[in-house]
Structure 1
């Protein structure tokens, strides 16, 4: 009775021992609460709810994402690490909408005998990485979190979007993602391996999306990543996409993915060269390729029609032979 009086006389002590209002049933028992009292409070219409085996939420409303994550960590124990979708979201990646209720994917040491339960997926691994702490939550490194997610994603379009987010917003290189796929289980890696192999020769991963979109145009680009020269053989630029018949450039770039000031300065110098040579250029945010594809196609079509009405700028894909002779 003495222990029971401890929590009954001081209800705040329960909240003090919880994490985001999630608490282990054994912790409640250690505070002197009888298991029958715990069970009764978790019955329909009760003030609490059971989220996972041995884990209680100290209210009966819908749990928040933070409460689901901390409940999962309480269930799995101290060595558990959040990976997959939940970790990617906490790193700020913009992911395709998931089907079904929110799941929490946890990595635990291979020696630990623990089963998945409710909304928690338990993965036992011999390659448990050192966690990154974000707001008190241990996360798998972003390369591991992203590859763990794509391994469990069957839709190729969704896999593509996840990998592009990891590369562009998460600063993961395609090589690092491929190496992480090689390190773990090979199950579910066929689609991401194929995509990463395709992207190995693409200067900007966003161009992979742009290629698909450009194919829908009535007048697709004639060249990609072609080097342009002015009349004197000087370097004029290397647009992501180029319409050689009308002298139109399409660049997939923006400060959205320019993490260094030098990148932004280089973009300004490039645009100045284009303007001096009379090259029309369309610039597109990488994110708009997914969020506004029709608007992007309309802009490119309008720009192509406008370029047709102007004299073609004095640039070529190769240094003119007469300039080569002069230079020699």
Structure 2
């Protein structure tokens, strides 16, 4: 007669509190609890309850949000890394108590936004329903609090409170897919950029891949998002010049040849040195090729006139501002070794 009970049951002490309270039936067998005993304890009025198929909560009463998250990941994923399958336990201590790795399952949508610290998305949907990304090949169905979103490729997760969570931009796109109110979509996208959760280009990229940019209320919100992103990037550029002691430029100007054509707008310009800074806030939209061609044309024209153009992305201003300040400083210092730039007319933009 086959016996599923291991000779040496695994102790529970290596698991975090939520893991101790929520286990799969396979994990319970690995800990020495037979299927019959699990069924008995999960009977109506019993001390345990089955919260999802094959997932048991080891106490009565409603689950906490943390318990629901662990339960959904156990249901949707392949279990913590270290075992050879759902029914084969890992060695004791193989899982980090702070970062259990659930393979092939990533939390997204409003629940992911909650873990990232958003307020707008969770305020709309709460976290009673938990969206989780799984590979397209998985045959599981959505049930209970778990809604499975199949995807051809899982995003690289970020770990928040030990849970695999979709990057903020992907979680925003998956949340927007369920929204129809233009004002609320706009507030969510604005919060994503204003509070530094992600860059505008990353959000637009995810919305594009989700084929949401054809929806009028999303297009309008994206326009507001890009304006918000430019404002945030401009503030960072102002702080960079001030904090790193760079000479004051003239801000937000248009350049023209005397009596000639318009050369283009610049975010910062040092006329004496012939150095310009332009924020590269392009986003991967349908007009990407046209925008890039315009950037390249303007840069080539200005450099033929002896003006050095430094392109800075919002991401670099946030993640590597000291390096960007050094690039601008180097361009300013090198001005003395170059021929003077052609005379141009500087106008406010």
- TM-score, normalised relative to structure 1: 0.56
Instruction: Count matched residues.
Output: 215
Relative distance call for 1:40 and 1:190 in structure 2 (3 A) is: farther
Deviation at 1:48, TM superposition (A): 0.8
State the 1:143 CA deviation.
Answer: 0.8
Q: Within 5 Å, give how 1:197-276 maps onto structure 2.
A: 197-201=223-227, 203-204=230-231
Task: Give, in whole Å, the separation in 1 of the partners of 2:192 and 2:22.
Answer: 31
User: 2 CA distance for matches of 1:111 and 1:187?
Assistant: 27
Q: CA deviation at 1:31?
A: 3.5
Offset at 1:91?
Answer: 1.1
| Matching of residue 165 in structure 1 with residue 191 in structure 2 | yes
Separation of aligned partners in 1, 2:133 and 2:60? 28
Map of 1:67 onto structure 2: 67
Partner of 1:92: 117
Residue aligning to 2:328 = none
Measure, in 1, the Cα distance between the counterparts of 2:183 and 2:25.
42
1:61, distance to aligned residue in structure 2 (A): 2.4
> Structure 1 pair 142/183, CA: closer, same or farther in 2 (3 Å)?
same
* Cα distance in structure 2, aligned partners of 1:160 and 1:43: 47
Can you give the 5+ residue segments of structure 2 that lack an aligned partner in the other structure?
A: 78-102, 233-251, 254-316, 322-346
* 3-state SS, counterpart of residue 72 of structure 1: helix
User: How far apart are 1:153 and its partner, in Å?
Assistant: 1.9
Aligned to 1:112: 138
The 1:101/1:171 distance shift into structure 2, 3 A limit, reads closer
**2:19 partner SS:** coil
Which of 11, 14, 21 is matched with 1:13 structurally?
11
Aligned-pair CA distance for 1:36:
2.6
Q: Aligned match of 1:80 in 86, 102, 105?
A: 105
SS of the residue 1:177 aligns to:
helix
Which residue does 2:261 correspond to in 1? none
Q: For 1:54 and 1:106, how far apart are their aligned partners in 2?
A: 17
Q: What SS does structure 2 have at the residue aligned with 1:13?
A: coil
* Contact 1:20–1:66 under 8 Å retained in 2: no
C-alpha RMSD over aligned residues = 3.7
Aligned equivalent of 1:42 = 42
Superposition map of 1:165-204 within 5 A = 165-186=191-212, 189-201=215-227, 203-204=230-231
- Contact kept in structure 2, 1:81 and 1:139, CA below 8 Å: yes
Q: Matches of 1:188 and 1:71 in 2, distance apart?
A: 35
- TM-score when normalising by structure 2: 0.52
Unaligned runs of 5+ in 1: 206-225, 228-257, 263-317, 320-328
* 1:89/1:189 CA distance change after superposition, 3 Å: farther
**Match of 1:50, SS?**
strand
Give the Cα separation in 1 of the matches to 2:216 and 2:139.
29
Shift of 1:113: 1.8
- Note if contact 1:132-1:140 (Cα within 8 Å) is conserved in structure 2: yes
Contact 1:14 1:28 (8 Å CA) reproduced: no
Partner SS, residue 111 of structure 1: coil
1:194 & 1:22 partners in 2: Cα distance? 43
SS of 1:118 mapped into structure 2:
coil
Distance, in Å, in 2 between the alignment partners of 1:19 and 1:76 is 15
Q: 1:5 to 1:85 in 2, by over 3 A?
A: closer
Determine helix, strand or coil for the equivalent of 2:188: helix
Equivalent residues of 1:22, 1:57 under 8 A apart: yes
Question: Matches of 2:203 and 2:152 in 1, distance apart?
Answer: 19
Q: Does 1:128 align with 2:154?
A: yes
Note the C-alpha offset of 1:132: 1.0
Rate the CA distance shift 1:90–1:170 in 2: closer, same or farther, 3 A. Answer: farther
1:55 — aligned with what? 55
